[in-house]
Structure 1
């Protein structure tokens, strides 16, 4: 492999042009090795960026603080980090010491803020939004200090040859609490509710060859944060491992369970081992603690998740197909529409739909969006044409039950799902989505891809989840004094189903889930008493999705099928056993 050579400057460089030849990839002109400079208190500081040739939109990045006295390009080559990025189709953002080397962690705060502020939001490349951190030598405490101050933005972290942080610095952040403010609508907590502290943010951590005396405060902090057992056990790779205790009630692992750990290894560890530790995890929701969750990351190769492309309306588009080993003949299919700026690859991990597919034997088809407001961001486009092509391809290539095609999505992807349910209800047996209701306008139409389609006013089982702190036009309840999009969604479907608001099972809503976070209202078909319309408010989340919700969505979807007669007539069925018990289906 050729050496990296000299980094090319991003300072003053025009933003990259759209590259429509690459489905869900950063523009080809942005791949390679780059440098960016920052004025920090009158001193010029730099950071490097490495983007592998096949890095997608919103890829995972590892943020690396290199040690003193090294040439960054040589370090990335000799350590194997460049190879890692190329093999994994990911990116690297590299923090570098100043002219006199790394200084004390707190003194580096302005440089970290400038460099990582650029990294997190720019028009040259886009990131997953949650980050892996690796700090070496003198750069490790500076990077760790940023993690302590911004724990919701870190998936997992590794520090090599680190002296750690002072107890005073750690305590200055540890006692801080996350409140109910969101970037959308505020969440009001019930009386007596205990706020999450910063030092209760679960964050997998590995120290390699630390200064054990000076790093003692850091180790104690992360053990407390991860709610670990007091005594470690030996692991041949990680060293001494302190696992998150069984029965831990940390918010950030309420769905995945106690999967986190803190480890300490006294001798060297390879870059490959560091990557294995980091990439065992993923995380989602970096701005609101009560929706933030740590999860196991999907291994595409091990699971057999397939990445495909097709031409849609003249553009190359990407989509993912996951047929788990548990899927049998005539498997049901769930078509998944990510939210605005969320790619198919982002949505695999953010929602953990792959876990639902494994458990239930369903086939997932996850749509990827197309370049939108910049060349490094995507959004929905040509959705109707894309679905029609995907439907036919999946039916031809896989042994599927075409009577059990379902649609789901989040945010803008929910908008696609809900509009399809109104304009083309025959396409799906049922729909269930989150954080974007839809209803016909005054003219009786909905819009898909800029085209108005008439509402068909036909029954289709429908389930919507939204957050207490969601987009302003979605929040509240159907019984408050504010008319918004959620009210319009309910009024349309209740009218089609021959029901009224008063037909709900309980006005108070049934509570379920971790800390009773789900408040659910259900309406039943009058003839069969099958649930036909369902609404859930997640009282502890903002707008972004959480993986606690796809199992709820699937538990609704799986009970429905539909058959289309030669004349286009649609017959819908409900099965209490989700079609596992022959003969129990009844027509809605």
Structure 2
């Protein structure tokens, strides 16, 4: 049965998705017909000869660009691989404004195609330019595509480079599009690596044979993570590969040969048995209402498998694929399929400002639902997560739309390499953003909140300790912080004393999280989570024994959330809360922001001229005048 921590935030793609598909090419360029094998009239000139990546130095830092790949990496590139004694190649096209950790579409070109001409004629290059995204292109060998299994070594080598290199960085999940004999080659990789694919489309495909599909169908996802193994309870049913929801579209397939592939993806997506006609997609098999699939436990049954008997435009293919996003590519039980945010439709603003001498990016989402004096949530992404990545990975925009919140998402700066970002000058950036938002938008400074994931949670928690007067409350995930033995915290390399003042605080972490903060507060291991709790309980005048229940209250899909709450002794309202997500690793999942907001929204604070802070709790989240009580 479909369940979520809060059903208000689970919504199937219907009108938005249909509008995207019907607009198709118009979403890319008004009136341009981007057919798979016919050049659009407005297309830019074909790219020059591909520049080699082999032996090329890694790009230098480009501080003139905020959260974008270095300018020297834009353009058309080629990379070679030695596979079975044969030199094979793949191409990369990076548009001029491609951000760090951009969405990429992986394209397998058909036999006999010149890749540069194909990307031009099909409209893929123009689409990448217009969408400010990038392409990774698989190419057949000298004798053409050899078939799905014989090409496995080439695809593994090429996509291994694509997923981890220092020339460019990717979102972490990809769109796949295969043409002709290249289609089953790419589809075979999707069958073997479904957690890494957002959505897929195949043109003129013969599909895969039943034996290959069966070799993966019954494989199970276990509890291994990149951090701490997740131990499942007795009787827990492991998810199988063939139960991984993955939106799929077949366009002019070989109807005599693709039946096994179609049946596999219908089963994987838990679709209804009978398809319904759609004038763009063809015959559509929608995910079954009430589907219990893990990967749509929060968004609801939004996936589809479709079959169209004749050609589609490139714009329509893009519209189908980019209606979706997903996050967490290594641990199945945290992997989720979502609706992708349409920045233009939602009105998400992308701004830059200079902070400590560097150009920095930040995003603002003030939804139509936001009224006068709206609350503001400052959002700090995790390490390597740009603001644009975090919009889709967390789905905070849906919470904002529902609740009338103004979101301010903090952009990061280059860190380990020129294609990776992390936090820098956070205190200075926050102070500038706070002042800018207060002046530009109709917001309530008494209801400023902070949240973040991983390294972004570290920023939030350190600010809460050193500068508790800045926020009415904080709530973050997967990185606790506490003062050192000297009673200080460090922000951007500068040491600050702990404020030792009450501030409502909520932390969520994963069972399989980073080793430094796993387990519970009641086990025998002292770690960062224990230190976080000890500091705040001490400031709040509480002890561990004051918890509402040692067992924790269970909620969410498969009762995945185990929560503990401590109440202020005077006001009798929640002041500290901790939740362990029993079925995720370190990466965030969009089932958590609604929980974070449900905690934050009840608090406000007033700061007197002498700096004294008074905090309030409102059971109605300030929707009923006069119900606030002083903490």
Relative to the length of structure 2, the TM-score reads: 0.93
State the alpha-carbon separation in 2 of the partners of residues 212 and 566 from structure 1. 75
State the alpha-carbon separation in 2 of the partners of residues 104 and 142 from structure 1. 6
Structure 2 match to 1:27: 70
Deviation at 1:283, TM superposition (A): 0.3
Structure 2 match to 1:526: 569
Relative to the length of structure 1, the TM-score reads: 1.00
State the alpha-carbon separation in 1 of the partners of residues 62 and 266 from structure 2. 46
State the alpha-carbon separation in 2 of the partners of residues 452 and 205 from structure 1. 52
State the alpha-carbon separation in 2 of the partners of residues 375 and 104 from structure 1. 37
Deviation at 1:104, TM superposition (A): 1.3
Structure 1 match to 2:457: 414
State the alpha-carbon separation in 2 of the partners of residues 559 and 342 from structure 1. 28
Determine if the alignment matches structure 1 residue 111 to structure 2 residue 182. Answer: no
Match of 2:233 among 190, 201, 206: 190
Structure 2 match to 1:323: 366
State the alpha-carbon separation in 2 of the partners of residues 372 and 222 from structure 1. 40
Determine if the alignment matches structure 1 residue 220 to structure 2 residue 234. Answer: no
Structure 1 match to 2:133: 90
Structure 1 match to 2:399: 356
Structure 1 match to 2:549: 506
Structure 1 match to 2:442: 399
**SS of the residue 1:272 aligns to:** helix
Structure 2 match to 1:143: 186
State the alpha-carbon separation in 1 of the partners of residues 114 and 581 from structure 2. 49
- Structure 2: give runs of 5+ residues left out of the alignment: 1-43
Match of 1:535 among 565, 578, 581: 578
State the alpha-carbon separation in 2 of the partners of residues 447 and 154 from structure 1. 38
State the alpha-carbon separation in 1 of the partners of residues 530 and 62 from structure 2. 41
Structure 1 match to 2:57: 14
Determine if the alignment matches structure 1 residue 337 to structure 2 residue 389. Answer: no
Match of 1:304 among 317, 327, 347: 347
Alignment of 1:27-426 (within 5 A): 27-426=70-469
State the alpha-carbon separation in 2 of the partners of residues 442 and 41 from structure 1. 58
Deviation at 1:2, TM superposition (A): 2.5
Deviation at 1:213, TM superposition (A): 1.6
State the alpha-carbon separation in 2 of the partners of residues 440 and 24 from structure 1. 31
State the alpha-carbon separation in 2 of the partners of residues 409 and 212 from structure 1. 48
Determine if the alignment matches structure 1 residue 563 to structure 2 residue 606. Answer: yes
State the alpha-carbon separation in 1 of the partners of residues 453 and 57 from structure 2. 33
Structure 1 match to 2:505: 462
Q: How far does the alpha carbon of each residue in 1:478-516 deviate from its partner, in whole angstroms, 9 at most, with x for none?
A: 000000000000000000000000000000000000000
Q: Tell me the matched-pair count.
A: 588
State the alpha-carbon separation in 2 of the partners of residues 364 and 55 from structure 1. 23
Q: How far does the alpha carbon of each residue in 1:369-397 deviate from its partner, in whole angstroms, 9 at most, with x for none?
A: 00001000000000000000000000000
**SS of the residue 1:188 aligns to:** coil
State the alpha-carbon separation in 2 of the partners of residues 316 and 252 from structure 1. 37
Determine if the alignment matches structure 1 residue 453 to structure 2 residue 453. Answer: no
State the alpha-carbon separation in 1 of the partners of residues 228 and 539 from structure 2. 30
Alignment of 1:419-434 (within 5 A): 419-434=462-477
Deviation at 1:163, TM superposition (A): 0.5
State the alpha-carbon separation in 2 of the partners of residues 197 and 373 from structure 1. 36
State the alpha-carbon separation in 2 of the partners of residues 158 and 353 from structure 1. 28
Q: How far does the alpha carbon of each residue in 1:522-544 deviate from its partner, in whole angstroms, 9 at most, with x for none?
A: 00000111100000000000000
Q: How far does the alpha carbon of each residue in 1:330-357 deviate from its partner, in whole angstroms, 9 at most, with x for none?
A: 0000000000000000000000000000
State the alpha-carbon separation in 1 of the partners of residues 462 and 445 from structure 2. 20
Output the aligned Cα RMSD: 0.3
**SS of the residue 2:150 aligns to:** helix
State the alpha-carbon separation in 2 of the partners of residues 27 and 477 from structure 1. 43
